[in-house]
Amino acid sequence: MKILILPTVEAVTKHAARRLARQLKRKPHSVLGLATGGTMDRLYAALPAMVAEEGAQIEQMRSFNLDEYVGLSGDHPQSYRHYMATRFGVPLGVDLARMALPCGDAPDPAAEAARYEAAIAEAGGIDLQLLGIGQNGHIGFNEPTSSLRSRTRIKTLTRSTVAANARYFDRPEDVPTRAITMGIATILDAREVLLLATGAAKAEALAAAIEGPLAAASPASALQLHPKATVLCDEDAAAAL
C-alpha cells in the first residue's frame, strides 16, 4: 500500500482530482468505481476545473458506484443515484446512462446485487476505484465483520453508520438501515484503488486499516492485499499513524 500524507484537505482534494483527470486523459473509456459522501463531494466539485486543466475527455467513461440504499428510488433526494447525477453527471456533462448504481428499489434486492456484480464483470472490471472510509473502517457499506471474500450483496448498516448518515435525512426513522454494496472481493478486483481520508474523525479507522492486522473488524485493512492501492490523506487523518 502506498501512503501519501498531504498537509490539508484542499491538497488531498486537488491531488485526487488530478489523479482522476489524468486517468481519463490516458484512457478516456476508463471504467471508474465511484463513491459518495462528504469526502467525495469536495473531489467532485474540483473535478470540472481539473478535467479542463488536464485536457481530459470525460464523455467516454463509464462508472459503477460502490453502493445504494435499499428502499430508496433513484429520484429520492438522498439516494446515491441522485447524489451522483447532481454532483458528477450533470456538472461534468456525463450521460447518466453511463453511470451505473445498484437499484435501491429493485423488487428483489438480492437478485439486483447479483445482476450488478455481473454487470461490473461484463464491463471488463474497474480500472480505478475511489474509496472513502467510514469511522468504523467500512469501505462502500462493507461494515466490520464483512467477509474478505464478499461480493455485491445486501448489508445491514451498523447503528454507528445509521447515526452518521442521519445528518442527511429530515427524520431519524427515514434513515435507511440496509444497502446494496459491492463486496470486499469486488473492490479488490479493481485494477487500482485510491482511498481518500480527511479529518481527525478518520484517524483511528485509518490507523487500523494501514497498521493493524488484516482483519474483518477493519474492512479497509483488506486493501493491504491489493497490489496497487494508494491511501491519500491529510495530516489530521494521519494523526494516529
**Which residues from 143-202 bind ligand GLP, rule CB under 6 A?**
161
Q: How far is the CB of 45 from ligand GLP (least distance, A)?
A: 13
Q: What is the amino acid identity at position 103? A: C
The dihedral through the CA atoms of 171, 66, 42, 44 has a sign that is: negative
Residue carrying the nine cell digits 481518500: 196
For residue 77, give the 3-state DSSP assignment. Answer: coil
Biggest distance spanned by C-alpha atoms of the chain: 46
Nearer CB in complex with ligand GLP: 56/117:
117
Q: How far is the CB of 55 from ligand GLP (least distance, A)?
A: 29
Q: Nearest Cα to 166, choosing from 204, 157, 130, 138?
A: 157
Determine whether 165 is an active site residue.
Answer: no
Q: Which of 67, 112, 127, 143 binds ligand GLP (CB under 6 A)?
A: 67
Q: How far is the CB of 200 from ligand GLP (least distance, A)?
A: 12
**Which residues from 202-231 bind ligand GLP, rule CB under 6 A?**
none
Q: Which of 38, 91, 93, 124 binds ligand GLP (CB under 6 A)?
A: 38
In the Cβ-directed half-sphere of 196, how many Cα atoms lie within 13 Å?
Answer: 28
d(CA 205, CA 240): 9
Q: Which of 13, 23, 30, 39 binds ligand GLP (CB under 6 A)?
A: 39
Is residue 36 within the footprint of ligand GLP (CB under 6 A)? yes
- Number of residues in contact with ligand GLP under rule CB under 6 A: 13
Give how far Cα 18 sits from Cα of 1, 44, 89, 107, 133, Å.
20, 11, 18, 39, 20
Question: What backbone torsions phi and psi does residue 50 show, to the nearest 5 degrees?
Answer: -70, -40
Measured between alpha carbons, how far apart are the two ends of the chain, in Å?
A: 14
Per-residue contact flags (x/-) with ligand GLP for residues 105 to 144, judged by CB under 6 A: ---------------------------xxx-----xx---
Determine whether 138 is an active site residue.
Answer: yes
Are 191 and 126 in contact, with CB atoms under 8 Å apart?
yes
Residue carrying the nine cell digits 433526494: 77
Per-residue contact flags (x/-) with ligand GLP for residues 6 to 35, judged by CB under 6 A: -----------------------------x
The active-site residue, picked from 65, 136, 142, 165, is: 136
Q: Which of 33, 37, 102, 137 binds ligand GLP (CB under 6 A)?
A: 37
The footprint of ligand GLP (CB under 6 A) covers: 35-39, 66-67, 132-134, 140-141, 161
Catalytic residues: 67, 136, 138, 143
